[in-house]
Chain A
Amino acid sequence: MKHIKTLNNANLKESAVKGGCGECQASCQSACKTSCTVANQKCEK
């Protein structure tokens, strides 16, 4: 494509179908203790 460069494979929808296992980190605890940007956490699957 000439005008658009897509950085990722959109996968939020797919992740909802497969997700919800609950094994990933729950809280803001490990790096800051005052906020939670979930987007920077890792998926455990």
Chain B
Amino acid sequence: MIHKFSLNGYNIILDVYSGAVHVVDDLTFRLVDFTDENMTPQVPAKAYDALSEYSAEDIDSAYAELFEIFNRGQLHAADDYEKFADMMINASVKSMCLNISHDCNLACEYCFASKGGFGGERCLMSGETARKAIDFLIERSVGRRNLEVDFFGGEPLMNFDVVRKTVEYARSKEAEYGKNFRFTITTNGLLLDDDKIDFINREMHNCVLSIDGRREVNDRLRLDWGGKGCHDRILPKFKKLVALRGDKDYYARATYTRYNLDFTNDIMYLYEQGFDQLSEEPVVSDPKLDFSIQESDLPRIFEEYETLAKKLIEMKKAGERINFFHFMIDLDQGPCAIRRLRGCSCGNEYVAVTPQGDIFPCHQFVGHDEWKMGNLNDGTFNTDIKKKFARTTIYNKRKCRECWARFYCSGGCNAINNEKNGSILEPYGLYCEMEKKRLECAIMMQAALAD
């Protein structure tokens, strides 16, 4: 299978099963349509007719090159990955979202977690439950060294004492069990102070700073309970954190909605404020809401991703350091094909834990009791649900089987699939379209930067 597209003056052919990416001239871009997995050294006669504006000599030489990459296994390579699909069924749990606070000091209009409470009672996780979660992870992560724990909420800084103690507790177990904890935290910034910044910069492998960009954009939807925007209160704190962070990872993480489809301006605004590691994603919300992304917004969104990609190319070529998470792609050293079969690994290698000690497949399933996998206090853990997720690969998602993007996207977000289409196996079309566009932009950027 190949996928070809032209973008920003580049003709690109992606060979899906080998992962090879070729930049080609106009002739070759059209000629490739006359090739398939049974191609021979002989140029098909109909190619000469269809491409009559080119000389036979040119067609022959372009075809010879196509045949050469075919012989190298970089064009029309075969799909032989399905045999690996069962490989991770008994995988260990090694990654955890700790919902340390089911409460929030903001009430963002678009919050998927019902303004922090996840549709239930507002509460904080106790130190005891957090310790049990760490014990669970150590016990379930047989054979794995690197363990990830993300402090999430709600707003995790509302329960920072437990964050601190949990980190200490986990660190105290590392040597004994041969584990390496990588902590991350996702915060809205309101409660950051020098002491917390210091702790986060020391202990957190990554941190995600939620801010939507320009003041008017941020303050339209990221509101406190009194209805006031938070931009001016969080920006100086985030700046301080980043200034002191050194070269450790972080992301300034924005959400875009129908209100700011010109989101390149928000990315650039954040860059100007001193943030060079950026991430921005479409809002996940009920389509009935005014700010939700609609199918009809797609052409505008595609245009905007192109604008952003072109802008980033220009900046990178000028030597500026800026990184946009959703255009990051490593064509040579990315994850192995086996990892690519099931993306986030939610419910299998990854789980989320609530303040009550309930275990869910991931943070976006929290509150949907039909997906509850167990509880830390009564020691239950339903491995049938785990197996169900383990078997959720690009090979049993009907739509992904046919999709060129499947080794990059890996089957979309199971939680969104479930929410929108009632099944973790049914990818949500609107997100697929956006994902594919981002991938095309990311690949095109690689072509442009290789020029």
Contact = CB atoms under 8 A, between A and B. Distances in A.
Interface stretch (B168-176, B288-296, B331-339): B331-339
A12 B80 CA distance: 10
Interface string A1-26: 11111111111110110111111111
Interface residues of B, number: 90
B307 interface: no
B21 A36 contact: no
Given A20-B338, A33-B208, A38-B339, A26 B345 contact: yes
B3 to A, nearest CB: 14
A12 to B, nearest CB: 4
B17 A12 contact: yes
Contacts of B329: 37, 39-40
Contacts of A36: 343-344, 409-410, 413
Nearest to B87: A20
B325 A31 contact: yes
Most chain A CB within a 10 A radius of its CB, from B205, B334, B409: B334
B364 A34 contact: yes
Nearest to B112: A34
A3 B138 CA distance: 53
Closest 9 CB pairs of A and B: A19-B336, A10-B18, A10-B20, A40-B328, A16-B337, A36-B344, A12-B19, A8-B331, A15-B336
Chain B contact residues: helix, strand, loop or mixed: mixed
- Chain A interface size, under 10 / 10 to 19 / 20 to 34 / 35 or more: 35 or more
Contact of A22 (B24, B73, B91): B91
B336 A43 contact: yes
B105 interface: no
B25 A29 contact: no
B438 interface: yes
B372 interface: no
Given A32-B325, A33-B208, 13 more contacts: A4-B24, A4-B28, A5-B23, A7-B331, A11-B332, A15-B335, A25-B95, A27-B345, A29-B148, A30-B184, A34-B112, A36-B413, A38-B334
A6 B20 contact: yes
B180 to A, nearest CB: 10
A31 B209 CA distance: 9
Interface stretch (B59-67, B190-198, B228-236): B59-67
A16 to B, nearest CB: 4
Given A16-B338, A33-B363, A38 B343 contact: yes
Contacts of B206: 30-31
B103 interface: no
A25 B325 CA distance: 15
A19 B25 contact: no
B326 interface: yes
29 contacts: A6-B21, A7-B447, A8-B20, A10-B15, A12-B17, A13-B337, A15-B335, A16-B336, A22-B143, A24-B339, A26-B345, A27-B150, A27-B345, A27-B362, A30-B150, A31-B279, A34-B364, A35-B416, A37-B328, A37-B438, A39-B329, A39-B330, A39-B334, A39-B407, A39-B410, A39-B439, A39-B442, A40-B330, A43-B333
